[in-house]
Structure 1
């Protein structure tokens, strides 16, 4: 899977970012405008388990002269492990999305209620769910909203502290949900005309031996590739990921995974640069 566009002709791009439609801090319009200010000319909005911000982002991108790629980041399962699948270049109007997204919304809401119940049982504020839902607004509710609610309630000082004490792995707010199997997520993305790629593969606490198995199974299930450049990935990890991409003849992608301007370690359009003909952005431009 090699694109023909020369690297010199590739505009500045970012194919992974989040708005208030899920757990981002900026509205889709504000997000695209900030991306434009940062020189991004090709972008994908990839909110968690929702397509609700795509119309607003697309309209703003047209006004800013930016090439817009409709996207989504789907929560799914590989065996018992939760992973995230990026859908890039999808058709949001594809009829299969309605039922699929409604199911995810129901799973997220049920999980939020369980998180709140567990945290209240630990003597945290009884209105925690209401606070988190207010912060989520009309977007998909997730653990970052509970983290912000805990800050608002004066329980913790930062989101990192909220995850360390209450919401991270093995903590009271670490509630599992029966997310769709990765095969279902890949099938849905592909049926809507999109490219299916594993998001931030080094962030699942997997050894590279296990990651190789996951990538092989993703390829067998019809996935197109995986992210190779994003905040926090090392040059050695990039080298190993690129070796896997070559081995399985897959596309690679790159993005900032931007959520909020408050996170100083990431910014729109900022991630390690990887010059490769496997870069999916060359196809999407």
Structure 2
């Protein structure tokens, strides 16, 4: 019997709304067999997720979603099957977490200039107090009535040209892929459809990514249309990349991303888990 995979999810360790054990419990209820917890720029939720996964009989792939600046844009690179004890990875993520704090403070200051007081403190209240992202600002602004939902907040306040926009200064593609590979993991380009790159620019990203040792692309994503899934499946096949699937689940409040609810990979793709064995999903690193 084939397993059900969801290899892109978030918890309260970053900007999800469920704790790692709550996320695992929901995944088990949804029939997910293999889950990757891929919080933004942090490994903080992995130990609790591992304990919950063991109790639920669910396989956890330790993961992370690393913020990268490439081609003048912010993109995300997922690491699957990483060793969370790896010193270079941990040091790199610590640097990104420190930058996130500075960026959040700058976003709060810019929103204050627009008459929105207390945004930084409000966003922090929606976070774990350590990692504060734009999603936390979005939740605060929805609560205060500035928008009807988080997507509207991003559109009017947090993207380029809007009052709360602060350009990202994240890891390089080389650094992110290097940290993942050094930690024994597989690097995957997350949700490529969200970047709205031209074909030429996407192929340039894929080319650089492969040269650096990246191996996968997220073909099926909670934010991809059916046509986009087929498009990225072809890119994966043509560029000899493995295909991944992930809901990008952040919580039950986002109905457009259902945990474990993705369509199957197109049959001509090679799944990223094709050569996984049980030992590729390590347990010993948490012991």
What is the TM-score normalised by the length of structure 2? 0.92
Q: 1:182 aligns with which of 163, 168, 173?
A: 173
Instruction: Give yes or no for the alignment of 1:80 onto 2:80.
Output: no
The 5 Å alignment of 1:11-90 reads: 11-90=3-82
Residues 163-194 of structure 1, C-alpha deviations (whole Å, 9 max, x = no match): 12211232111211321111100000000000
Structure 1: runs of 5 or more not aligned: 1-8
Residue 196 of structure 2 aligns with which residue? 205
Residue 171 of structure 1 aligns with which residue? 162
Residues 189-211 of structure 1, C-alpha deviations (whole Å, 9 max, x = no match): 00000000100011101122321
Deviates more, 1:252-261 or 1:235-244: 235-244
- 1:59 shift after superposition: 0.6
- 1:139 shift after superposition: 4.7
Q: Provide the rounded CA distance (Å) in 2 between the counterparts of 1:39 and 1:156.
A: 34
- 1:11 shift after superposition: 0.5
Residue 105 of structure 2 aligns with which residue? 113
Question: Any conservation in 2 of the 1:61–1:68 contact (CA below 8 Å)?
Answer: yes
Q: Provide the rounded CA distance (Å) in 1 between the counterparts of 2:261 and 2:143.
A: 29
- 1:53 shift after superposition: 0.2
The count of residues paired between Structure 1 and Structure 2 equals 276
Question: Any conservation in 2 of the 1:166–1:172 contact (CA below 8 Å)?
Answer: yes
Distance 1:29 1:256, change over 3 A: same
CA RMSD of aligned residues (A): 1.5
Deviates more, 1:68-77 or 1:233-242: 233-242
- 1:277 shift after superposition: 5.4
Q: 2:224 aligns with which of 227, 230, 233?
A: 233
- 1:234 shift after superposition: 2.9
Runs of at least 4 residues of structure 1 off by over 6 A? none
State the secondary structure of the residue aligned to 2:274. helix
Q: Provide the rounded CA distance (Å) in 2 between the counterparts of 1:233 and 1:42.
A: 21
The 5 Å alignment of 1:86-101 reads: 86-101=78-93
- 1:152 shift after superposition: 2.5
Q: 2:209 aligns with which of 191, 194, 218?
A: 218
Q: Provide the rounded CA distance (Å) in 2 between the counterparts of 1:38 and 1:120.
A: 42
Q: Provide the rounded CA distance (Å) in 2 between the counterparts of 1:13 and 1:33.
A: 15
State the secondary structure of the residue aligned to 1:281. coil
Q: Provide the rounded CA distance (Å) in 1 between the counterparts of 2:68 and 2:121.
A: 26
What is the TM-score normalised by the length of structure 1? 0.92
Residues 203-240 of structure 1, C-alpha deviations (whole Å, 9 max, x = no match): 10112232112111111111012100012323332333
Q: Provide the rounded CA distance (Å) in 2 between the counterparts of 1:199 and 1:101.
A: 17
State the secondary structure of the residue aligned to 2:11. coil
Structure 2: runs of 5 or more not aligned: 278-287
